[in-house]
Homo-oligomer: A and B are copies of this chain.
Amino acid sequence: MSVLIIGTIALDTVETPFGKKQDILGGSAVHAAISSSFFAPTRIIGPLGEDFPEEHLTFLKSRGIDLSALKKMKGKTFRWSGFYEFDMNQAHTRDTQLNVLLDFDPKLDEETKKTPFVFLANLDPEIQLKVISQLKGPKLVASDTMDFWIKSKREALHEVVKKVDFLLINESEIRMFMETPNIPLAAKRLLELGAKAVIVKQGEHGALLFTENAHFSAPSYPQAQFKDPTGAGDSFAGGFIGYLAKTGDLSEGNIRRALIVGSVMASFNIEDFSLDRMKRLKKHEIGERFEEFKKFSEFEALSAAHFA
């Protein structure tokens, strides 16, 4: 089944301990769509400026991504500039130029409205709600957000929480949003607010899944190569929803696998700047890394004899 990704399309300027890159391809929708494209037919919608380099569109097309709903808008592409320090866990923003993002108000055509799997990447929750209201019988809707919206649009975000199947949120954001440091408690509150499932992204520490009846802790990966964390969460989301769309199986067991697939995709994305690692990524590497995740996290039950 197919996937619709809606989010930002950006030109990033990123500095990490491993280098500085100017105006490189980025944006939440781009990272998510590239990741999803390894699994399922993927359509992307995002605000595109007149200055957006043709080579990036060529790259998206080469991954089979459907660009038919993408229209160049009058003005310049959204730009983010930031840096990461020593531990690279926290992005520090230097400059944000919203540009065409200010006028982004996606109108979905009839075909797009019927996409079964939808990921609303980080955007103004009011825009996310507008998109949700246009969808026709989606099988699964997942959404992401960020601290900025938690602070500035809490009410709209509550509405989003009520309307999505999977809310993706990182550790510090869920603590801020639900006003408790206790993540299981924060997740419980989000489920009570109406989310069907909550996925807590923990960066290098893995990811957690909370539903009313289930809990899953996806392991961390011992990441030796690590150059640029930008887009890790969106690569995770794209792999997660792409894999679910590919398999069409929403059992808990398959959702667990989807979290690992998401973790696998994020672990590749951060190995190089921008989408550079994803450009080189081969399908068999995904399966091999999934196996590594399994190997690295398996343990056997206690022997009854040894534990009387």
Q: Are B185 and A224 in contact (CB under 8 A)?
A: yes
Residues of chain A from 160 to 217 with CB closer than 8 A to chain B in the complex? 175, 181-185, 202, 204-206, 208, 210, 215-217
Q: Are A299 and B253 in contact (CB under 8 A)?
A: yes
A291 to chain B, nearest CB (A): 7
Q: Are A299 and B184 in contact (CB under 8 A)?
A: no
7 nearest A-B residue pairs (beta carbon): A217-B219, A205-B205, A184-B222, A256-B299, A87-B181, A247-B306, A184-B224
Q: Are A222 and B208 in contact (CB under 8 A)?
A: yes
Question: Taking A222-B183, A260-B299 as contacts, is the C-beta distance between A206 and B205 under 8 angstroms?
Answer: yes
A114 proximal to B (CB < 8 A): no
Q: What's the Cα separation between A287 and B303 when bound, in Å?
A: 10
Q: Are B210 and A222 in contact (CB under 8 A)?
A: yes
Q: Are A291 and B301 in contact (CB under 8 A)?
A: yes
A286 partner residues in chain B, CB cutoff 8 A: 307
Q: Are B294 and A301 in contact (CB under 8 A)?
A: yes
A200 to chain B, nearest CB (A): 10
Q: Are A257 and B215 in contact (CB under 8 A)?
A: no
Secondary structure at chain A's binding surface: helix, strand, loop or mixed?
Answer: mixed
A300 partner residues in chain B, CB cutoff 8 A: 253, 256-257
Contact flags (1/0) for A257-283 with B, using CB distance below 8 Å?
Answer: 101110000000000000000000000
A selection of 24 A-B contacts at a CB cut-off of 8 Å is A17-B181, A87-B175, A182-B223, A183-B204, A184-B224, A202-B205, A208-B220, A215-B296, A216-B297, A217-B219, A217-B222, A218-B299, A219-B297, A246-B306, A249-B306, A253-B299, A253-B300, A256-B299, A256-B300, A257-B299, A260-B299, A290-B301, A290-B302, A291-B301
Q: What's the Cα separation between A122 and B287 when bound, in Å?
A: 41
A217 to chain B, nearest CB (A): 4
A226 proximal to B (CB < 8 A): yes
A240 to chain B, nearest CB (A): 13
A156 proximal to B (CB < 8 A): no
Q: What's the Cα separation between A247 and B124 when bound, in Å?
A: 55
Q: Are A294 and B287 in contact (CB under 8 A)?
A: no
A213 to chain B, nearest CB (A): 12
Chain B's closest residue to A290 (CB) is B302
A24 partner residues in chain B, CB cutoff 8 A: none
Chain B's closest residue to A181 (CB) is B87
A88 proximal to B (CB < 8 A): yes
Q: What's the Cα separation between A104 and B13 when bound, in Å?
A: 55
Q: What's the Cα separation between A175 and B86 when bound, in Å?
A: 10
| Cross-interface CB contact of A222 among B215, B247, B306, cutoff 8 Å | B215
Q: What's the Cα separation between A302 and B117 when bound, in Å?
A: 20
A303 partner residues in chain B, CB cutoff 8 A: 247
